[in-house]
Structure 1
Amino acid sequence: MKIAIGNDHAGTEYKLAIIGLLKSMDVALTNYGTDGTDSVDYPDFVHPVAKDVENGAVDYGIIICGSGNGASMTANKHQKVRSALCWSKEIVELARSHNDANILSLPARFISLPQALEMVKTFLNTAFEGGRHERRIEKMPCS
C-alpha cells in the first residue's frame, strides 16, 4: 500500500505521529507536508497529495490542517479524489464503506492525537462496500 500525506503547520505533530504509525505498518509513504510550525498555506501541501491520488501514484492520501475543511476542499478540486473530512472513527468507517473516500482529511484542532491515529487505522482497514453505494459514486462528476 502507498500513501501520500500532507499537512500545514497545525498538523505537523499529528503528521509525525501518523508517519510513525504507517512505518510500523510497513506502508510506503510520500511526505509532502511541512515539518515545522511556522504558518504555511495548506494548498501548497494538499495539491501534491491529491495529484498523487488522482494519477494513481498512491492508493490513498491523508491530509491535515486546523479544521480539516480547507484541506478537504482543496483536495476535492482534483478529479478522481473523494476527500472526506472526518472527526470520529464512525464517520471514517462510513466515508470508506459508503463513499469510497480515497483521502482522509483530519481536523487537528478538533480531535486528539489518539483519535487521529485510530481514525487512520480505520481508514486503511475499512473496505468500500460497493453495491448500492457504487451507483452513487458513479454519479459524482469526475470520480
Structure 2
Amino acid sequence: MKLAIGNDHAGTEYKAAIKAHLEAQGHQVSNHGTDDNSSVDYPDFIHPVATEVENGTADLGIIICGSGNGAAMTANKHQQVRAALCWTKEITELARQHNDANVLSIPARFTSLPQAIAMVDVFLATEFEGGRHANRVNKIACM
C-alpha cells in the first residue's frame, strides 16, 4: 500500500517510528514531515499529505501534531479528504467503517507511541462498511 505521512515538531518521534513500522510491513511511505523538533508550521507538512490522498498518489494518509486538531483541520480543507482525529483504536475503527476516513490524525501529546502504532494498524486493516454510511459520506464534501 502507498501511504503518505506528515508531521510537525510535536510528531517527529511518532512519525519516525510509524514510518519504520509501516516500511517493515512492506508499505511504501512518502515522508512529508519534519525530521527534527524545531518549531514549524504544521500546514506546510499536512497539505502535501492531503494532496497525495486527494489526487490518488497515496492510498491513505497519516498526519501527526500535538493535539491532532490543527493537522485534521488542515487536511479537511481538501475536498476528497476525510481526516479523522483519533485517540483510541475503537474510534479509529469507526472512522474507517462508518466515515470512510482516508487520513488518520494522531494527537502525539495525548496518545502513547504504542497506542498510535496500534491505531495505524487498525486504520489500515479496517474497511469502509458502505451501506447506510455511504449516503452520509457522499454528503460530506462541499461541491
Give the TM bin, normalised by the shorter chain: over 0.9
CA distance in 2, matches of 1:15, 1:24: 14
- Aligned pairs for 1:1-40 (under 5 A) are 1-40=1-40
Where 2:141 maps in the other structure, the secondary structure is: coil
**2:67 is matched with which residue?**
67
Q: CA RMSD in A?
A: 0.9
Where 1:98 maps in the other structure, the secondary structure is: helix
- Aligned pairs for 1:81-100 (under 5 A) are 81-100=81-100
Question: Post-superposition, which runs of at least 4 consecutive aligned residues in structure 1 deviate over 6 A?
Answer: none
- Aligned pairs for 1:43-82 (under 5 A) are 43-82=43-82
2:126 pairs with 1:131? no
Residues 5-35 of structure 1: CA deviation (Å, up to 9, x unaligned) = 0000000000000011101110011000000
Q: What 5-or-longer segments of structure 2 have no aligned partner? A: none
Where 1:61 maps in the other structure, the secondary structure is: strand
Opposite residue 38 of structure 1, the aligned amino acid is S
**1:42 is matched with which residue?**
42
Give how far 1:142 is off: 4.4
- TM-score normalised to structure 2 length: 0.98
- TM-score normalised to structure 1 length: 0.98
Q: What is the aligned residue count?
A: 143
Identity %: 69
CA distance in 2, matches of 1:43, 1:11: 13
Where 2:61 maps in the other structure, the secondary structure is: strand
Contact 1:80 1:142 in 2 (8 A): no
Give how far 1:79 is off: 1.2
Contact 1:11 1:108 in 2 (8 A): yes
Where 2:99 maps in the other structure, the secondary structure is: coil
Residues 25-67 of structure 1: CA deviation (Å, up to 9, x unaligned) = 1001100000000000000000000000110110000000000
CA distance in 2, matches of 1:31, 1:141: 26
Give how far 1:138 is off: 0.9
